[in-house]
Every structure is written in structure tokens, then in C-alpha cells.
């Protein structure tokens, strides 16, 4: 009995040592004093400590992970090279980064008072992001999935884009709180798969607007709030009013331009040559 207990204790002790060694191997690559910025799970890493207090880093893991709370950003990838800037409040902030291999990035912001939450989820094999004073450019040289969702007291909207490559200009990441418009500019090369689902709550109930199209390219510019779906635009648009029958139509046209309102709901839709077939009511 005593031997068994000793053996059990020895096994437990060995297990504890193994866990401790494993933790130390993974280590914390870097965490700032306020716990705002952290890079971890990076068994291979190198960082240059610049005279300015900024840090240039390279990290690899399976995957390596990180976050920047101030920017509402979490990320993981097999490899990442980046530049973390030291801010006046003592935090580190990801100013640019190139990530490769199973890249997953999430950006989240919320304004409690306005009960508004916006989040973006990105999956790709390669991504480059650069932050300036006016915005954050995200370049996807290869295939990517970009999923953006907005939730307010009366609106739930998701935009999903899948494409072989694209470039986005987003607002400065910690200035997106409460913004209903996730992009300042987008330029996406196709074939682009676009899915927009927007649900609006009203006194009469919930209405839903769904657009699912595939096209050759997509551009969007916040200055004119116009989404341009260009080349071989095929898909369908469905509207489910708060009361009454749903209606919708299948499209197969050269192009569609959609003028959006403040809530990124369509205000005006124009289409090029092609066929539009009504689905009719009662579907």
C-alpha cells in the first residue's frame, strides 16, 4: 500500500515537472506592463529593442498567439513578423504585422452605452496589416475569409466575404467602437463570394434582408457609401418584411451598385445588363 502511494506521488511529481517544463518552453514572448499587449506560445522568437522603445519582433509557433486589448485585436499564426510601438500611456500597440500560416485574426469593439458591438473575424494563409493615424490597411495576397458582424439594440448585420485576394482599409482599430461601417475602402478580386444578412427590429417585428452573390470583383468606398459588385454577378436577394410575405429575386447581371445608408442597409440598387427574375411572394 505504502509502495503504491509512493509510486503515485512520484508519478504526480514527474507530471508536475513535465507541465512546468512545457510551460517554460512555450514561455511568454512579450507582455507589456499593463497586460494590454501580449505575444505568447512562440517557442522560436527574436525581438529587436529599438532606441525609441518600440519593438520589432519575429515569432513562430504552432501557432503563436497574441493580443492587443487597446486595439481590440487577437491573432494567431504559424509565423508573424511585426512592429510594436510604445505609446505615451506605456502600452505596446501593434503598428504593423505580416502573418503567415493558418492566420486567424479577430477585431472586436463595443460601446456599452450605445449597446453596439462590432467584430471582425479573419481566416487566411497570409495577411499584412499596417496601421497609420487615419486607418488600418489589411492586405490579403491569397485566399481569405472576412466576416464582420454588427449588433445594436435594433440591428444585427453580418457581412461575409470570401475571395482569392483583397485589400481593405479599416478605421483605426480602437476607433471603430460604435461605427456601423466596417470598411473605409475595400478592393476585392474574385471570384468573390459575398453574403450580407441584415436583421432589423421594429415595433412591428423583425425584418431581414439577405444578399448572396458571387462576382468577379467587389469595391467599396465609404466616401460615397457605394458597394460595387462587378462582373458576372450571380446570386439572389431576399427580403423578409416584419409583416407580410417575403419577396426576392435571382440576379445574373454585369454589375450591381448598392448605395447604403448609415446602418449599411441598402438605399438604392442599380444593375447592369442581364437577367433578374422575381422569386415572387409566399416562399
Partner 1 sequence: MDVDDSQIKFTGENDSTAVVQGVKGTLMKDGKVASHFVAKDGHADTSTGRLVLTGSVRITSERDGVVLTADKVTYDEKTALVIAEGSVTVQSDAWMSGPHRSLVAPPALDKIGTPDRFGL
Residue 264 is classified by DSSP as S
CB of 49 to partner 1, least distance (A): 5
Footprint of partner 1 on 9-28 (CB under 8 A): 21, 24-25, 27-28
Q: Which is nearer to partner 1, 60 or 168 (CB)?
A: 60
Judged by DSSP in three states, 230 sits in strand
Element (H, E) at 143: none
Report in angstroms how near the CB of residue 22 gets to partner 1 at its nearest: 10
Binding string to partner 1 for residues 242 to 281, with x set by CB under 8 A, is what?
A: ----------------------------------------
Grid cell in block for residue 14: 514527474
128, 157, 158, 166 from 216: Cα distances, Å: 23, 24, 21, 12
Residue 78 sits at the vertex; the CA angle it makes with 75 and 84, to the nearest 5 degrees, is 50
Indicate which single residue of 2, 4, 5, 51 sits in contact with partner 1 (rule: CB under 8 A): 51
Q: Interface with partner 1 includes 43 (CB under 8 A)?
A: yes
The residue among 39 and 215 lying less far from partner 1, judged by its C-beta, is 39
Is residue 234 at the binding interface for partner 1, with CB under 8 A as the rule? Answer: no
Tell how far CA 22 is from the center of its chain.
Answer: 31
**Residue 16 and residue 8 in contact, taking contact as beta carbons nearer than 8 Å:** no
Half-sphere exposure of 176 (CA within 13 A, CB side): 28
Q: Which of 194, 107, 98 is nearest to 145 (CA)?
A: 194
Positions in 161-200 near partner 1 (CB under 8 A): none
Residue 74 Cβ vs partner 1, minimum distance, rounded to whole Å: 18
Residues lying near partner 1 in the complex (CB under 8 A) are found at: 21, 24-25, 27-33, 37, 43-51, 53, 55, 58, 86, 90, 92
Amino acid at each position: 500500500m505504502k509502495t503504491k502511494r509512493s509510486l503515485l506521488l512520484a508519478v504526480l511529481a514527474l507530471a508536475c515537472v513535465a507541465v512546468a517544463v512545457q510551460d517554460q518552453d512555450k514561455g511568454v514572448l512579450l507582455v507589456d506592463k499593463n497586460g494590454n499587449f501580449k505575444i505568447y506560445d512562440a517557442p522560436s522568437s527574436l525581438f529587436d529593442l529599438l532606441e525609441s522603445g518600440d519593438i520589432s519582433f519575429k515569432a513562430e509557433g504552432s501557432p503563436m498567439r497574441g493580443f492587443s486589448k487597446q486595439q481590440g485585436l487577437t491573432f494567431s499564426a504559424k509565423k508573424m513578423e511585426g512592429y510594436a510601438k510604445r505609446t505615451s500611456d506605456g502600452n505596446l500597440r501593434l503598428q504593423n504585422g505580416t502573418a503567415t500560416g493558418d492566420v486567424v485574426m479577430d477585431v472586436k469593439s463595443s460601446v456599452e452605452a450605445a449597446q453596439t458591438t462590432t467584430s471582425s473575424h479573419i481566416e487566411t494563409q497570409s495577411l499584412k496589416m499596417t496601421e497609420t493615424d487615419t486607418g488600418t490597411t489589411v492586405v490579403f495576397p491569397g485566399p481569405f475569409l472576412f466576416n464582420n458582424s454588427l449588433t445594436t439594440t435594433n440591428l444585427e448585420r453580418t457581412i461575409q466575404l470570401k475571395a482569392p485576394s483583397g485589400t481593405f482599409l479599416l478605421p483605426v482599430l480602437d476607433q471603430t467602437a460604435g461605427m456601423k461601417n466596417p470598411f473605409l475602402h475595400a478592393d476585392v478580386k474574385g471570384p468573390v463570394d459575398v453574403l450580407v444578412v441584415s436583421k432589423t427590429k421594429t415595433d412591428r417585428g423583425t425584418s431581414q434582408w439577405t444578399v448572396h452573390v458571387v462576382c468577379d470583383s467587389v469595391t467599396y468606398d465609404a466616401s460615397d457609401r457605394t458597394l460595387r459588385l462587378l462582373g458576372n454577378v450571380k446570386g439572389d436577394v431576399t427580403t423578409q418584411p416584419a409583416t407580410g410575405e417575403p419577396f426576392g429575386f435571382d440576379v445574373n447581371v454585369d454589375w450591381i451598385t448598392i448605395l447604403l445608408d448609415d446602418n449599411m442597409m441598402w438605399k438604392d440598387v442599380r444593375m447592369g445588363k442581364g437577367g433578374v427574375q422575381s422569386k415572387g411572394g409566399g416562399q
